[in-house]
């Protein structure tokens, strides 16, 4: 468990804050590849923005300047058959390399394992994200010019209770909420 952070369901009006965080988190990798295009990044995220599948990663502490918890990242997990797709997982640069991304991904993978769901993701080639997902058991299934498609198979036996949908509820400030992803919702079309 990663103390000091919690997952909170996103709302429609969170788009701008999440877009800003995404750009901040990706800027260095995109610059390294010569792919800096804020308009393209905005268009891609707005096409697929699905607050019902998005969770903000908030610090448990209140920022004295804003009176709000700091937005440390966000994750979007889309239902798909036969598994789930991590469409976005971004951590603010100040929170990177501190175990926060591993904690969030661990929550998703633990739930996927219990439901016997594979998890897929697409990462930018030659980025730290590829190595991050490899450390968590993902393997490359397809490599393109810019991206690497990766997948992780479930690790544990299925539960006897079946794949019921479970809602994510914000946790009290003292302990993080588990990332729980709905099982049986139609996949979003892009």
pLDDT tens-digit map of 54-94: 999 999 888 889 888 899 999 999 999 889 999 989 998 88
Separation of alpha carbons 115 and 159, rounded Å: 7
Planar angle of CA 175, 180, 185, nearest 5 degrees: 155
The SS3 assignment for 71 reads: strand
Predicted confidence at residue 126, as pLDDT, reads: 83
Sheet of 139-143: strands edge to edge? 5-9, 54-62, 69-79, 83-91, 118-124, 147-152, 139-143
The pLDDT score that the predictor gives to residue 153 is: 95
- Residues in the chain predicted with pLDDT less than 50, given as ranges, are 1, 160-190
Q: What is the per-residue pLDDT for 190?
A: 33
SS3 47: helix
CA angle 164, 183, 4 (to 5 degrees): 95
pLDDT of residue 146: 84
Domain ranges of the chain: 5-152
CA distances from 139 to 37, 119, 133, 143 (A): 28, 11, 8, 11
Name the H helices within the chain: 15-32, 38-48, 100-114, 128-135
Q: Which CATH superfamily, name and number, covers 5-152?
A: Gcn5-related N-acetyltransferase (GNAT) (3.40.630.30)
């Amino acid at each position: 468990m990663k103390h000091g952070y919690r997952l909170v369901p996103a709302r429609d009006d969170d788009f701008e804050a999440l877009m800003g965080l995404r750009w901040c988190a990706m800027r260095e990798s995109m610059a390294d590849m010569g792919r800096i295009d804020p308009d393209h990044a905005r268009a891609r995220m707005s096409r697929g923005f699905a607050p019902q599948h998005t969770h903000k990663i908030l610090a448990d502490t209140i920022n004295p300047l804003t009176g709000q918890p700091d937005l440390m990242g966000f994750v979007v997990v889309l239902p798909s058959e036969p598994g789930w797709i991590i469409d976005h997982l971004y951590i603010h640069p100040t929170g990177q390399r501190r175990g926060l991304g591993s904690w969030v991904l661990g929550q998703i993978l633990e739930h996927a394992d219990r439901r016997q769901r594979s998890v897929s993701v697409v990462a930018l080639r030659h980025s730290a994200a590829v190595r991050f997902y490899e450390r968590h058991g993902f393997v490359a299934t397809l490599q393109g010019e810019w991206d690497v498609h990766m997948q992780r198979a479930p690790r544990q036996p299925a539960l006897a209770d079946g794949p019921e949908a479970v809602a994510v509820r914000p946790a009290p400030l003292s302990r993080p909420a588990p990332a729980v992803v709905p099982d049986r919702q139609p996949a979003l079309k892009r």
